[in-house]
Structure 1
Amino acid sequence: MHDDLEFSDDPARIDRPRVHAWLSEESYWARGRARSTQDAAIEASRNFGLYDRATGRQLAYARVVTDGVTFAWLCDVFVASEARGRGIGIALIDGVVAALEPLGLKRILLATGDAHGLYARFGFEPLARPGDWMQRPAPVATP
């Protein structure tokens, strides 16, 4: 890890307004997410941040939904635009994977539209049997 970065799983350190702005304004998967929804997601998940050691400013965020025993879903991974290209995403995922390793989870899932190479570095691969998986999407809102 970079000496100028600090990884933390302390939910009290999460800069909630900053994370909400990242996800609701800049991400492709959570655009428009309400702050109350983001806060509820933080409360119900394991949260990880990467911080600039000198300033304490949060540079990246990841959230994991898990039972802590058999399964985890890695989601809401985001690196601040001004911090990209410095290995921040690699350091963040390295920390998350290391934090989850002692749990002995059977699987960790994620969905990504653009970072397959990053996750492959940490052993993520396409589903062996994607036809086995199903989803129940939210109902479509009617006007």
Structure 2
Amino acid sequence: MADRPEVEISFDRDRIDFEAASRLIRASYWGKRRTEAGNRRAFDNSLCVAAFIDGEQVGFGRVMTDYACFAYLCDVVVWPERRGAGIGKKLVGALLDHPELAGVLAFSLRTTDAQSFYEAFGFEVSNDGMYMRLVR
């Protein structure tokens, strides 16, 4: 069995290829209604992380947060040719373990197809009748 390549995780915004991340997000089921400008504004107002192999970006994720009470994990994407190598796990783990998020009381996310992936990190499907949302 071949060794998996080493994945480097970085929060350095100067290294992140936001255009490539936006392109992949806009091709996803959850991001198809977004624009490049909208994604860029969202990225600018989030804690962003990227995964790299040999200096090439292969993944992206972000958290919207107030750094105290609440954080929303979103836009976790791995480049299609790199999926299945544990990169998504490293991205989510890095965000959850980020020192500035250590005191956050509650994390939330939304997914239609990756519940078991996020359950491995302790997330639970919420049907408690407390969460509400407004979609415009």
Counterpart of 2:61?
Answer: 62
Q: TM-score, length-normalised on structure 1?
A: 0.86
| 2:56 equivalent to 1:18 | no
| 2:39 equivalent to 1:38 | yes
- Displacement, 1:136? 1.6
The residue identity in structure 1 corresponding to 2:67 is G
2-structure distance, mates of 1:114, 1:91: 19
1:53-132 alignment runs, 5 A limit: 54=54, 56-99=55-98, 103-127=102-126, 129=128, 131-132=129-130
Unpaired runs of 5+ residues, structure 1, are 139-143
Q: Is the 8 A contact 2:11 2:49 kept in 1?
A: yes
1:89 is paired with a residue whose SS is: helix
Please report the RMSD computed on the Cα atoms of aligned residues, expressed in angstroms: 1.7
Counterpart of 2:10?
Answer: 8
> Kindly, what percent of the aligned residue pairs are identical?
34
Q: Is the 8 A contact 2:73 2:109 kept in 1?
A: yes
- Higher helix proportion: 1
Q: CA offsets per residue over residues 8-40 of structure 1, 9 Å max, x none? A: 112222101111110112x11001421110110
Q: TM-score, length-normalised on structure 2?
A: 0.90
Q: Is the 8 A contact 2:68 2:101 kept in 1?
A: no
Paired residues, what number? 133
The residue identity in structure 1 corresponding to 2:61 is A
Which runs of 4 or more aligned residues in structure 1 lie more than 2 Å from their structure 2 counterparts after TM superposition? 100-103
2:116 is paired with a residue whose SS is: helix
- Displacement, 1:102? 5.1
